[in-house]
Chains A and B, each alone.
Chain A
């Protein structure tokens, strides 16, 4: 199969209006992915499926990723020349930049006919609150049906053109999206006996005033 760069260039030649970029995976697996814009998502997906050199006829996996809002600190280094003629002084200028979050749908594509893959597609929403619509790829690959419903349920991405977009795991009346990073689960259990720091912090929060050890020792003495 052609390399990801070749594929991107071919896509850009075929769809001049689309934005297609490569998201580099720096880990040893080096599974780089193609980031395509939502407006051309369906067309590009159809092309990937029907192109004779690719024939990516099988979407094995569709999943969601939540990228929350974050503050990025840019450090700009400038060298101020020393008037006395010595070495210049390096001044760091820090600027904070707000980077809005987004939701992402990731598709892993294989070709059963040509036995190659995966090609990884990413589609991103504009933000995490009101513009969360992406084109559904269920009309392209049937196997996305339940998985897109799961993404809709757990991340809240609305797939336009999905034949049956309902919640999959949670009930219809449920309002939250549990796999989002800012989801807060109901505080409905007390104690988890595994000694994780997070679990201990949660237990302390659940019971802000633990019984004093001295008092409990007295109780034991009284009962005995």
Chain B
């Protein structure tokens, strides 16, 4: 088995002492493959990310375009868009999240099994985007669920989504299965489900999840 897409940052190889990537590559050319359970596991996971088939606005059109033949997200193993959150690994929040939709987005997130990842695609999902001043627009999905990758753009081109996916794959490949930096989905204390906001008389209750997001204390701006 060939590790053609190893993480770009040289990580020490835990199963083989201080052997470097170059030395491993040298051994591989001689038909000796050295790997670890962690690396194999992450390699498999990162190359079959099943996204949730879930579009909110115009960014979803770009997401669909990324799945078509021209851009072909299947090259990165993420072509199986699942209609059920129970079978999905990745939630691509593609578009404007209205406050009316936000509880449903959080509910879908809670229904996804671990390990799960979230991509905030486009200006709206990141911050509200051009609709930030709207009374019914959530100013970023990271107020309720943890976001792994932010893809700016309005909407981002399919290449940007593919780049975001590659960044997510790098993140997954760097996750640890044991030790102090164990991945989130393997820690019992890390939450998997997040409180679903309720519809209040004037706003969502609560308007954000303080465990995930707190408003910045101040802004660097000209006085």
- A residues contacting B by CB (< 8 A) are 169-176, 178, 183, 185-186, 188-192, 203, 207, 209-213, 216
Nearest CB in chain A: distance from B141 CB, A: 14
B218 touches A207 (CB 8 A): yes
Are B202 and A174 within 8 A (Cβ)? yes
Also in contact, A178 and B135, with CB within 8 A (given A170-B100, A189-B128):
yes
Specify which chain B residues have a CB less than 8 angstroms from the CB of A169 in the assembled complex: 100, 136
How many inter-chain residue pairs (CB < 8 Å) link A and B?
60
* A residues in contact with B220, CB < 8 Å: 211, 216
A190 to B215, CA, bound (A): 8
Chain B residues packing against A (C-beta within 8 Å): 99-100, 127-128, 132-133, 135-136, 139, 199-203, 207-208, 215-216, 218-223
With A171-B199, A203-B219 known as contacts, the answer to whether A183 contacts B133 (CB < 8 A) is: no
Cβ A175 vs Cβ B219 within 8 A: no
- Nearest CB in chain A: distance from B99 CB, A: 8
A207–chain B nearest beta-carbon distance, Å: 6
A190 to B202, CA, bound (A): 18
Contact of A210 with B215 in the complex, beta carbons under 8 Å: no
Taking a contact as CB atoms under 8 Å apart, the answer to whether A175 and B202 are in contact is yes
A174 and B132 contacting across the interface, CB-CB below 8 Å = no
**A175: nearest chain-B partner, CB-CB:** B201
**Shortest beta-carbon distance from B207 to chain A in Å:** 5
User: For chain B, what secondary structure do more than half of its interface residues adopt (helix, strand, loop), or is it mixed?
Assistant: loop
Name the distance in Å between B136's Cβ and chain A's nearest Cβ. 6
CA distance A207 to B222 in the complex (A): 12
Chief secondary structure at chain A's binding surface: loop
- From known contacts A169-B136, A203-B219, A203-B221, infer whether A188 and B203 are also in contact, taking CB-CB under 8 Å: yes
Are B201 and A190 closer than 8 Å at their CB atoms? Answer: no
Considering the chains assembled together, what is the distance between the CA atoms of A212 and B201 in angstroms? 37
Task: Tell me which residues across on chain B come within 8 A of A213, comparing CB atoms.
Answer: 222-223
Q: A192 and B219 in contact (CB under 8 A), knowing A175-B202, A176-B202?
A: no
Is the pair A210, B100 in contact by a Cβ cutoff of 8 Å? Answer: no
How far is B16's CA from A60's CA once the two chains are assembled, in angstroms?
74
Given the complex, which residues of A lie within 8 Å of B133, measured CB to CB?
Answer: 185, 189, 192
B218 near A189: Cβ-Cβ < 8 Å: no
Contacts of A170 in B (CB 8 A): 100, 136
How distant is the Cα of A191 from the Cα of B133 in the complex, in angstroms? 10
A207→B219 CA distance, assembly (Å): 8
- Residues on B with beta carbons closer than 8 Å to the beta carbon of A209: 218
Neighbouring A residues of B219 by C-beta, 8 Å? 190-191, 203, 207, 210-211
Give chain A residues whose Cβ lies under 8 Å from the Cβ of B208.
Answer: 188
Question: Looking at A174, A175, A178, A211, which has the most chain B CB atoms within 10 Å of its CB?
Answer: A174
Name 11 interchain pairs, CB-CB below 8 A, sorted by A.
A170-B136, A173-B201, A185-B135, A188-B139, A188-B207, A188-B208, A189-B132, A189-B139, A192-B133, A203-B221, A209-B218
Contact present for B135 and A210 (CB under 8 Å): no
Contacts of A189 in B (CB 8 A): 127-128, 132-133, 139
Quick check: B201 and A174 within 8 Å, CB to CB?
Answer: yes
7 closest Cβ pairs, A-B complex: A171-B199, A175-B201, A185-B135, A186-B203, A173-B199, A189-B139, A178-B135
Instruction: Tell me, in angstroms, the Cα distance from A170 to B98 when the chains sit together.
Output: 10
A212 touches B223 (CB 8 A): yes
Whole-angstrom distance between the alpha carbons of A212 and B127 in the complex?
A: 26
